Amino acid sequence: MRLAGIDAMRSLAIILVVAQHTSLMGDDKTAVDYLYKNLVANSSVFFVALSAFLAAHISWPKQRWTDFMRKKEALLIPPFVCISLLALTKAYSKCTLGLYCQDYQLIEVGLGGALFPLWYVPFIMVMFSLTPMLKLYHAQSLWLQALVLIPLCYLSMRIGRPQELTHLAHNLLYFLPAFLLGLSCEKLHRCRSVSTALIVSLAVAAIGVWLYQSLHLQQFGNAHHPRLGLYAVDWLFVQKAMLSCVLLLLLSDLRVEQWLQKHPSLLKPLSQLAMMSFGIFFIHGLFTYELYLLTKPLAHISYVLSSVVAMALCLALACGALTIGQRLIGKRYSRYIAGY
């Protein structure tokens, strides 16, 4: 697989994650609002699947498990700690101004509770620590993988996402199938078992579920639940699982990669965004509340317009902050503070 496809995956993943976190609910919801919200909501499923795909495709063949874990710890833990402290400082400064207050438990901060995107770090570190078992899954035939994956997907469909994002056990149960899907997609790509018919079929099914949940069921965004249990089917997980497969298989296709390489005007910004994606992931949550206040008047005109403007501003602010920070303190240190 070429770098163009990987850059496209990483840049699209971070765009979807930022879009998810800047798509705020309006009072009067139209069909277009439902469609947009359900298109970007729960994009964490794709983010997790992509992490698995890239780990199996790039890291596992070249690195021993211990080296792989040391590298991930060095890349993830320092910015996780720094951004958590920055988020706590911001939260307590707001509290002293009488804007809002929140009590933070140390264990919640350690599980990513200081800033909503940070739950991903403890979750993915646990997943990476299971690499020997995940490699065993990856080595099996696609039929055996399906026998494991189908019941786990059904479980995720029924339990939904945790209301408390720091609920590590619930996150592991919910997102484990997404990680395994990423491994299976990488296996499909490696075995050259991907057909155009498969991608088209998955895309049509994903679009069908998206339209069904948005226009018929009128479900709006994630299905969060306060405790672990069986609930109604989380159609958003179904949609995002299929969409993740489509995007991973499509963007890893040689023809798509060659097309991207022939269009440098598109590939260059995608590559730059991909390089900054980790840093954007860590810091974009610092801007969302202020952007909500800034773009709230636009919601009276269009919920989708306010969400898209907030997403664009959030990406611009995050990229600007990372660029300035790197120039001020140097790439060597900024990488450990903000992930870039």
The pLDDT tens digits of the residues spanning 51-77 come to: 999 999 999 988 888 888 998 998 899
State the pLDDT at residue 8.
92
**If you average pLDDT over every residue of the chain, what do you get?**
89
Name 207's Cβ contacts closer than 8 Å, sequence gap at least 6. Answer: none
The whole domain housing 322 covers 3-338
Provide the whole-model pTM: 0.92
In this prediction, residue 100 carries a pLDDT of 53
Q: How many domains does the chain have?
A: 1
Overall average pLDDT of the 272-283 stretch:
94
- CA–CA separation, 214 vs 259, rounded Å? 33
For residue 96, what pLDDT is reported? 52
Average pLDDT over residues 37-59: 94
Q: First vs last Cα of the chain: how many Å apart? A: 24
The rounded distance, in Å, linking the Cα atoms of 3 and 240 is 24
Indicate whether 97 pLDDT > 50: no
Residue showing tokens 């080296």 = 67
pLDDT at residue 28, as a whole number: 60
Report which secondary-structure segment, H or E, holds 115: none
In the DSSP assignment, the letter for residue 231 is -
